Amino acid sequence: MERISVSDLDLIAAQIGRRPRGVTGIPIRCSYGYPQVVRVRPLIDGEPFPTLYWLTCPHLCREIDRLEADGWVGRLERRIAADDALGRGMEEAHRRYVEQRAAQLTGDDRRALDERGQSESLLVKGIGGIADRKRLKCLHLHVAHALGDANPIGDLVLEMLPTTECSPEQVICSALLEDGADRDGRIDR
């Protein structure tokens, strides 16, 4: 996985509207060279953070927002319930996600989580902290996981999108760099 630079952190702040915390690397960039997904530590300032892969690409976020507004979270949940192979694929994706989070924890991290009764949030719960693995918290989580590792729901969502990158005439992240976001580091999504 690619390491992260100070200029990457500045751009990610503009992409998500705040300074990123706990970022450990960039698993994937778009063809223009901008981060699409970042990988995040499972503990930030001593607190559990169950989202291992974070979607930062403004273009993808907007497209996925539209799908969510059109009811695709519920439709895909029903598809998981009806399709045994998809359900097994999602269970495998959750398992890998938990394993990847656990691999980043030190012995001291695990002891601290156990003492506070917070181990389940990182060592049992699935993608993004999902307790009921037949549910989808949001599609952004699954697309980020698909781009950073493997996730069958994320793959289905990516197939539904008309494009997975900005057009060359309107590269959002290039504009963010030129404009300095909107003076306070936020973009409208």
- The domain locations on the chain are 6-179
Q: Which residue has the tokens 């793959």?
A: 155
- Token pair 């781009």 is found at 147
The CA-atom distances, in angstroms, between 43 and each of 24, 123, 125 are 11, 12, 14
Phi, psi dihedrals of residue 55, rounded to the nearest 5°:
-75, 120
Q: Which residues contact 116 (CB under 8 A, 6 or more apart)?
A: none
Residue 187 has pLDDT above 60, yes or no: no
Q: How large is the average pLDDT for residues 167-179?
A: 90
Arithmetic mean of pLDDT, 32-58: 96
What is the rounded distance in angstroms from the CA atom of residue 96 to the CA atom of residue 136?
16
Is pLDDT above 50 for 188? no
Q: Where are the beta strands (DSSP E) in the chain?
A: 23-29, 35-40, 43-44, 47-48, 53-55
User: What is the pTM (predicted TM-score) of this model?
Assistant: 0.92
CA distance 24 to 3: 7
> Using DSSP, how many helices (H) and how many strands (E) does the chain show?
9, 5
Average pLDDT, the chain: 93
